[in-house]
Structure 1
Amino acid sequence: MSAGRFERYDRYERALRDVLKILNLAAPPAPSGDARNDPRARRHWQCSVSLLIMRAALPPQPEELFEPLVLAAVYEPDPSHTQWHIRPALAAFGRRRVQTRLLEHLRTGTDYEIIGAADAWYCTYLRVAGSDTEDDRCTDLRHTFQEVGLHIFLANDNPRVRRAILTLLNLRANESPPELRPLVSEVLHIVRAHAG
């Protein structure tokens, strides 16, 4: 496993521990010794903790839970599990606030933070039962994401970053504001060149 992946695991686990502390939950024993370097043992612990958090993090929640929940979503190594952190964040804090924070990670993050924020962004459109927050469609933030995503794709040549962003972009130029159409065309040109 690459050092970058272990760094993401470490940051993810710190966020999980912060959430556990705020929710006053006891974590299952974490891998130690040689098991710390076994990705399967670490993922088993991470998944166990994530499910525990998802079941316990019902609204209302204290303000200090917001940032660790969003960080857990950004650092979650498996995109199919990202919703375990986004669902409680949406329920407790609302779509607008979660998406606004994810946009900050997209603008300023490292490559794996951008990938994680893109995975989390996808999950922000889930409907969350039992939420006390208003269901704001956040159309303005969707447009902001389109602009930020286009710029990330064009400025970052990491294939994993590009792939994570590309799946979330609207590449129909006629549906984009006039100022973004040249960027959409440039992205499409790159995609077609790599596909051919």
Structure 2
Amino acid sequence: MLSRAAWDLIAAGGMEAVSLRTVAKQAGVSMGRVQYYFKTKDDLLLYALEDAHGRMTARILDRISDEDPRAALLVVLDELLGGDPETRDAIRVHLAFAAKAREDERLAAVLVEGDDELLALAVHVVGLARDAGADVDPSLDGQALWVLARGLGVDVALYRLPISRAREVLAHAVARLAPPLGSEH
């Protein structure tokens, strides 16, 4: 509840809109209750960011149905596009934290938590496509897929790119860089 209130404030007005008092008001609780859990605004913001990431991870895990690495990658990349309203808010929260993270190592660590594993998955899947005969570079093309999905998510969350178009662009890139195994190249 407090995390969601912080997200709503950040999504609507940026980091400056968040204080312990505004979060209490947004959540409909007393200031004392907020202060019981969070001594500072930074503590509250860090919690909100960790919660946003945790919710995205839970949505990804709920959608992964088999052991196929390509299918798992597609789920991850689709989540990054921001089709889910909560993911769009999480992207906005993430971006709001980006500038502050340059000065705060705790925030920086949360912002990139899991990124190495997800990038490695993209590289692995592109590597499987290469091994099956696709003319791709796992390191470069895996990175390209990862960055493309994140960038499209920002366009969906901030610049009103329709999610259908973002999915179309991503599907085009995936088809070229990580085609299904056994497809013609």
TM-score normalised by structure 2 residue count: 0.34
TM-score normalised by structure 1 residue count: 0.32
Choose between structure 1 and 2: higher helix proportion.
Answer: 2
